[in-house]
Each structure stands twice: as C-alpha cells, then as structure tokens.
Amino acid sequence: MSEPSLTILAEKVDDAEAIERLHERTFGPGRYARTAFRIREGRGHELSLSFTARIGTLLVGSVRLTPICIDETKALLLGPLTVEPPFRSRGVGTALVKRALKEAQAKGHKLVVLVGDEPIYAKSGFKRIPKGQVKMPGPVDPARLLVAELKAGAFDGVKGTIRPDWIVG
Ligand SMILES: CC(C)(COP(=O)(O)OP(=O)(O)OC[C@H]1O[C@@H](n2cnc3c(N)ncnc32)[C@H](O)[C@@H]1OP(=O)(O)O)[C@@H](O)C(=O)NCCC(=O)NCCS
C-alpha cells in the first residue's frame, strides 16, 4: 500500500495541544526561556500564517509566524519550526517554511526574520542579518539571526530592536 501523501494546512485552534506536545518533545522546558519564545508570548502567533504538516491525519510538523516590529518596520517572526523525528529529512520542514512564506507574501507582508541555523533556512531564501543591524530584546547568537525579503529591497535601511507587534490586527 502506498504511504499517505503530505498535506500542509493552515493551523486551527484545535491543533494547539498536539503542537504543544511536539514543542515539548523537541525543545523541552528550556524553550520558555528563549528570547524568541518571549516575543511570541506577547501577542501570539497568527493562525492564518501558521501551518501544520500532516501525513494522512497524523500531525507531523508545525511552523508558526508572529507579527513583530523592527523599530517601526512591520515584519513577521518565524518559529518554532518542528518536524517529528521519524518524518525528518523528507522535505517536510522546507515545505512548511515555503508555504508560510508564500501565504505571508500573498497577504502583503514584506519581511520575515527568525533565530535559527542558516543551513536549514538558506534554501528558503533566508540570509544572515549583518551583525548589529537588528537586535533581539534578549540574548541571541547574532549568527543565527536571519531575514528573508518577501519584497525586493524591503530590508534596505531597516535597523533596530525587535519587539512584539501589539497593533497589527
Ligand atoms: C529543523 C527541522 C524542522 C527540519 O525539518 P525536516 O523536515 O527534516 O527538513 P527538510 O527535510 O526539509 O530538510 C531541510 C534541510 O535542512 C537540513 N538540516 C536539518 N537540520 C539541520 C541542522 N541542524 N543543521 C544543518 N542542516 C540541517 C536537512 O539535512 C535538509 O537538508 P537536505 O535537504 O540538503 O538534506 C527538523 O530537523 C526539526 O524539527 N529539528 C528540531 C527542531 C529544530 O531544530 N527546529 C529549527 C530551529 S532553528
């Protein structure tokens, strides 16, 4: 019998528990202390810009996007990105990121930043932010601060500290 195919769906309220368990297994309790977690905690992620990966009915991965500001520039923070260990290295993570970026672009968003490993995200268009151009409101390795432009030139001249976006609806 052939394996059920991969589907990427917008996150639903009902997915929260399964995603929380996935995050707990992947990142453990230390996740609460991470600077990116603290930012996401403020406003919460945007369901319509967050996606789950399913093989058949099984939730095997998740990616979330959260509205933020870099000084006065609106942007999105990507993460966490997580795929269940048995389903890794099959393109699920890349499919989740590509779908989230496509949807964000379609909704008029111009910039996405994240804290993560450059080799994972480079193929989805992320590049390292020059040291000091953007700061997180907490400790982060500057080499892991990445950006993707959804509109050419959107990152030109953008600098400052990332904060949760409390205003965008
Ligand atoms: C990172 C993660 C989401 C990738 O999911 P995935 O479904 O395996 O991703 P893909 O199959 O699309 O592969 C992405 C590529 O990144 C590579 N990769 C995965 N983890 C990597 C790492 N830590 N460093 C460098 N490359 C990595 C894979 O080998 C693959 O490259 P390839 O296509 O050339 O083989 C998954 O490994 C995971 O959940 N890891 C634990 C949580 C985590 O680290 N999240 C990211 C925080 S930055």
Structure confidence at residue 41 (pLDDT) = 85
Model confidence pLDDT, tens digit, residues 29-50: 888 888 888 888 878 999 999 9
Structure confidence at residue 48 (pLDDT) = 96
The CA 93 to ligand 1 mean position distance, Å, reads: 7
Structure confidence at residue 52 (pLDDT) = 98
Q: Which residues contact 119 (CB under 8 A, 6 or more apart)?
A: none
Residue nearest to atom 29 of ligand 1 (CA): 89
**Which of 27, 120, 141, 146 should be mutated for ligand 1, with most atoms under 8 A from CB?**
120
Structure confidence at residue 92 (pLDDT) = 96
Atom in ligand 1 nearest the alpha carbon of residue 90: 11
Would you write out the chain's pLDDT as a tens digit for each of its 169 residues? Answer: 567 799 999 999 999 999 999 999 999 988 888 888 888 887 899 999 999 999 999 999 999 999 999 999 999 999 999 999 999 999 999 999 999 999 999 999 999 999 999 999 998 999 999 999 999 988 999 999 999 999 999 999 999 999 988 654 4
Atom in ligand 1 nearest the alpha carbon of residue 97: 12
The CA 66 to ligand 1 mean position distance, Å, reads: 21
Separation CA 109–CA 30 (nearest Å): 30
User: Ligand 1 site: residues with CB under 6 angstroms?
Assistant: 26, 81-83, 88-94, 116-117, 119-120
Structure confidence at residue 169 (pLDDT) = 45
- Burial of 167: CB neighbours in 10 Å, binned 0-12, 13-18, 19+: exposed
Q: Is 105 helix (H, G, I), strand (E, B) or coil?
A: helix
Atom in ligand 1 nearest the alpha carbon of residue 87: 7
Structure confidence at residue 168 (pLDDT) = 46
Model confidence pLDDT, tens digit, residues 135-158: 998 899 999 999 999 999 999 999
